[in-house]
A = this chain, B = another copy of it.
Amino acid sequence: MTRRAEAADMPHHGEIKTPDRLRRRASRLLSQMSAQSDRLINEGLAQADAHKWHYAVLASLQEHGPGSQATLSRRAGIYRSDMVGVLNELAERGLVGRAPDPDDRRRNVITITAQGRRHLRRLDKVLDDLHDQLLAPLAPAERDQFVQLLTRLLDHHTQQAPRPPRIP
């Protein structure tokens, strides 16, 4: 209070770097957009009685073939502790088979069933639609670029970086 008047609370013009720096911070944009995306996707998948993780597991099975739970866990980026429940749900609905591996009795071998493949096709459609909503404001070329930028960033921070854990 002793120093001059209290005009000090208003933006300091003459010292401007970025007006609106809050809204432009990539970290904020990422977390807010991720929340928005999560909401959209979860709602959409819920209407198909599904879950993000179901899709991830089924898609990874379809693309890389059967595998142990730990393998799937790494492929799909889901922790083994969470994988248990996901596979329970998928197995209950007959979308995957879970059988002990005769060659290594610690493992379960997970395979996708015909019904699972059918379900995956449905989910793929649902997700195509949802991503169309998600990326609505971007032109096709921009969508590709967006995905490409994100991919490069993610690769940088997962693969070679000594950043914290990545499905340990």
Which A residues are within 8 Å of any B CB, using their own CB?
A: 3, 6, 8-12, 17, 19-34, 36-41, 52, 56, 59-66, 76-77, 111-112, 114, 117, 124, 127, 130-131, 134-138, 142-143, 145-147, 149-158, 163-164
| B152:A137 contact, CB within 8 angstroms | yes
Q: 21 A–B contact pairs at CB < 8 A? A: A6-B111, A11-B64, A11-B65, A21-B124, A26-B134, A26-B146, A27-B37, A29-B147, A29-B151, A30-B37, A31-B38, A33-B34, A36-B154, A36-B163, A40-B163, A136-B156, A137-B155, A138-B152, A138-B153, A146-B149, A149-B149
A136 partner residues in chain B, CB cutoff 8 A: 156
Distance of A40 Cα from B135 Cα, bound (Å): 26
| B114:A8 contact, CB within 8 angstroms | yes
A135 partner residues in chain B, CB cutoff 8 A: 26, 153
Distance of A9 Cα from B96 Cα, bound (Å): 11
| B30:A30 contact, CB within 8 angstroms | yes
A155 partner residues in chain B, CB cutoff 8 A: 137
User: A23: nearest residue on chain B (CB-CB)?
Assistant: B151
Distance of A163 Cα from B44 Cα, bound (Å): 12
A66 partner residues in chain B, CB cutoff 8 A: 9
| A9:B142 contact, CB within 8 angstroms | no
